[in-house]
Amino acid sequence: MGIVYLSETKKKIYLLSDTFHKGVINLPVIRINFFKVDIDFSNYDALIFSSKNAVLSVNSFDERWKEIPCFCIGAGTAKVVEELGGKVAYVSKNSYGNKFAVEIANLLLDKKVLFLRAKRVLSSLEDILKSLHVKLTSKVVYETTCKENAEHSIDENAIIIFTSPSTIECFFKQYNWKKSYQAVCIGDVTAKHMPQDISLHVSHKQSIMECIKLAQSLEVK
């Protein structure tokens, strides 16, 4: 009887986003819908962006936002602001909305502030800033909805990267979880929305690249 040598087989990594990254399979499960909103930017001294989608939405209908200093959650959001010609005044030290609110409150006390946000917001950023006496107005400029039809099947032993609570919600509307799958979550807030019976790995640096690095470390385990 001959000897059979088994080689390590890398597991496939699925990213629940349409953002291209080498070495992963894109599996977008959410759709972003932009809203055109009437905003008089001359009324504001500072803008708050908690995601790149808010930046892209506002830029699609009014470029006057670029004249106003922007306070951004996350390096990814700040990068989009800069690429579009906006002014980054501050980038969060912490990527969680509640902690970010406390972090920037003193910097905004003498300003009229506009928070450009999603229809559904999980943090209490707005309430916290108002409780700390920041003159804050908010405008909803986009919403996240679930895609209706699954675009791909998922292989056994897959590693699946969840980039937000919305991707968790939309994923489970289209797919059944298999025991062979492994989950990687971008931060503790996203991880808290996973079903309790699913074991997961959490990237404590909130960036897709860090999630991919974590997933790649699991590929041959």
Q: What tens digit of pLDDT does each residue of 198-213 get?
A: 989 999 788 889 999 9
- The burial of 176, by beta-carbon neighbours within 10 Å (0-12 exposed, 13-18 middle, 19 or more buried), is given as exposed
Instruction: Based on the fold, state whether residues 136 and 163 are members of the same structural domain.
Output: no
State the residue range of the domain holding 91.
33-145
Report how far residue 129's alpha carbon sits from residue 114's, in angstroms, rounded to the nearest whole number. 11
Crossing angle for the helix pair 75-83 and 52-61, to the nearest 10 degrees: 20
Is residue 160 a part of any domain in this protein? yes
Report how far residue 112's alpha carbon sits from residue 39's, in angstroms, rounded to the nearest whole number. 14
Q: Taking residues 95-114, what's their average pLDDT? A: 94
Instruction: Based on the fold, state whether residues 108 and 178 are members of the same structural domain.
Output: no
CATH number at residue 173: 3.40.50.10090
Closest CA to 96 of 200, 208, 205: 205
Give the tens place of pLDDT for each residue, 39-88: 999 999 999 999 999 999 999 999 999 999 999 998 889 999 999 999 99
Last residue of a domain, one of 145, 167, 201: 145
The torsion angles phi and psi of 135, rounded to 5 degrees, stand at -80, 95
Q: Return all residues near 96 (Cβ < 8 A) that are at least 6 apart.
A: 123, 187, 188, 189
Instruction: Based on the fold, state whether residues 122 and 191 are members of the same structural domain.
Output: no
What domain count does the chain have? 2
Is residue 99 a part of any domain in this protein? yes
User: Tokens 């001359």 appear where?
Assistant: 42
Instruction: Based on the fold, state whether residues 53 and 119 are members of the same structural domain.
Output: yes
**Beta strands at 135-146 and 30-34: parallel, antiparallel or unpaired:** antiparallel
Report how far residue 20's alpha carbon sits from residue 171's, in angstroms, rounded to the nearest whole number. 19
Instruction: Based on the fold, state whether residues 24 and 48 are members of the same structural domain.
Output: no
Instruction: Based on the fold, state whether residues 132 and 56 are members of the same structural domain.
Output: yes
* pLDDT at 14 > cutoff 60: yes
Residues 81/91, Cβ–Cβ less than 8 Å: no
Q: Name the pTM for this structure.
A: 0.84
Is residue 3 a part of any domain in this protein? no
Q: What is the mean pLDDT of the chain?
A: 91
* Res 9: pLDDT: 59
Instruction: Based on the fold, state whether residues 37 and 95 are members of the same structural domain.
Output: yes
How far are the Cα atoms of 192, 193, 199 from residue 196, in angstroms, in the given order? 8, 8, 8
